[in-house]
Chains A and B, each alone.
Chain A
Amino acid sequence: MIGLAQIGCYIPEKKISNLTLLDKFETDEVFIRDKIGVVQRARKEPEEKASDLCIKAYDNLLSKQSIELEEIKCCVVVTQNPDFNIPHTAAIVHGELGLSEDCASFDISLGCSGYVYALSIVTAFMQANGMEKGLLFTADPYSDIIDESDKNTALIFGDAGTVTLLDVNAQLKPLAFDFGTKGSGYKNLINSDKLYMNGRAVFNFSAATVPVSINKLLDKLDLSKNQIDRWYLHQGSKYIVDTITNRLDINKETVIFDMYEYGNTVSSSIPLLLSKDISKFQKGQKVALSGFGVGLSWASTILGKY
């Protein structure tokens, strides 16, 4: 079975402080820090595209792990802000990295649930086609679509890219998944001209759906919540992570929160968190991942370390 071997990340050095916007949005530092959970937002350069974030994440991966490019048989990019509508961003990344011509490449159009969805799609694709190594990228530069005057979105989103090396020999493997869609709510998080978010509707969706998804997954695997060593929930805001933590009634110390210095990076949020811990997991440990948002859609998984 295919597993997660290593994760490379890129967070732009340039940051936009939310603390300079307190008067503009009639808010205060306590709200910014304790409720939104984003003190500053990572901001790419205007000319940088999703593929550039992917390439820089790959450079970071190379600093952690040597890779033979000809061994990579699958290159996938999760994004809804691609470089172009045509072609797919994965083809651009493929070309920039100089991957071999027998390497499959495609994009997956999903938002905050995208990483977990992609773990299932790509590991299954690789398994079905006898591929041993693949690269799963996430890069969704929302700074290109944010309305800086919209309090509902301007204080939240940051730019980043990640790449996960998937490898048949990796010891951190998905045990099961749970997916779902509430398509009737798609207008609550949508980019028609600029990004629009009905914060209350997205909050309600997340608070109602994610605990149910995770409990279904635990039942499927015959596990209890206290058998999960660490929880990696999509970093939508501190308030939603805290709310889901309370509703799941799990130990706060085991729930990872870390978006203060870069913001909500959409499909990159979970791999950014995982990248800090992936080399530390011990044999037998289990961790839960749940992504939720645009769609409205969700995906949860439990990874086990062998």
Chain B
Amino acid sequence: MSNITAQQILDVLSEAKVVKDANALINDKPLAEQGIDSLDFSGVLFNIEEAFKVTIPDADIDGLKTINDIVSYVNNKK
């Protein structure tokens, strides 16, 4: 299966309605510093799990701070 892209993660963020314009997010900046709080992040993870059919254990969450982190993580899991 082909690797996912940052744009696909942005699409998920957009669908989760956690920010007004997901495409304005910076890929290598922590999402927590771009207005996405802990509850929003739970929602984002839920949508990512659903969209890409992966399971993200609680223990892995600390390593997922940026969009780039998420892209690498999901691609390694697939």
Contact = CB atoms under 8 A, between A and B. Distances in A.
Q: How many residues of B sit at the interface, in one of the four size bands? A: 10 to 19
A203 B43 contact: yes
Interface in B17-43: 17, 37, 39-40, 42-43
Contacts of B45: 200
A243 B37 CA distance: 15
Contacts of A198: 58
Nearest to B56: A200
A207 interface: yes
A243 B50 CA distance: 14
A224 interface: no
B39 A35 contact: yes
B48 to A, nearest CB: 11
Contacts of B46: 203-204, 207-208
Contact of A35 (B17, B37, B49, B50): B37
A306 interface: no
Interface in A25-52: 31, 35-36
Nearest to B58: A200
Nearest to A203: B42
Contacts of A239: 39, 43
A199 B17 contact: no
A196 to B, nearest CB: 13
Contacts of A100: none
A251 interface: no
Interface string B47-60: 00110000000100
Contacts of A20: none
A236 to B, nearest CB: 11
Contacts of A237: 39
A150 to B, nearest CB: 14
Given A200-B58, A246-B17, A207 B43 contact: yes
Contact of B42 (A31, A199, A208): A199
Contacts of A31: 37, 39
Nearest to B37: A31
Interface of A: 31, 35-36, 198-200, 203-204, 207-208, 237, 239, 243, 246
27 contacts: A31-B37, A31-B39, A35-B37, A35-B39, A35-B40, A36-B39, A198-B58, A199-B42, A200-B42, A200-B45, A200-B58, A203-B39, A203-B42, A203-B43, A203-B46, A204-B42, A204-B46, A204-B49, A207-B43, A207-B46, A208-B46, A208-B50, A237-B39, A239-B39, A239-B43, A243-B43, A246-B17
Interface of B: 17, 37, 39-40, 42-43, 45-46, 49-50, 58
Given A36-B39, A203-B39, A204-B42, 17 more contacts: A31-B37, A31-B39, A35-B37, A35-B40, A199-B42, A200-B42, A203-B42, A203-B43, A204-B49, A207-B43, A207-B46, A208-B46, A208-B50, A237-B39, A239-B39, A239-B43, A246-B17
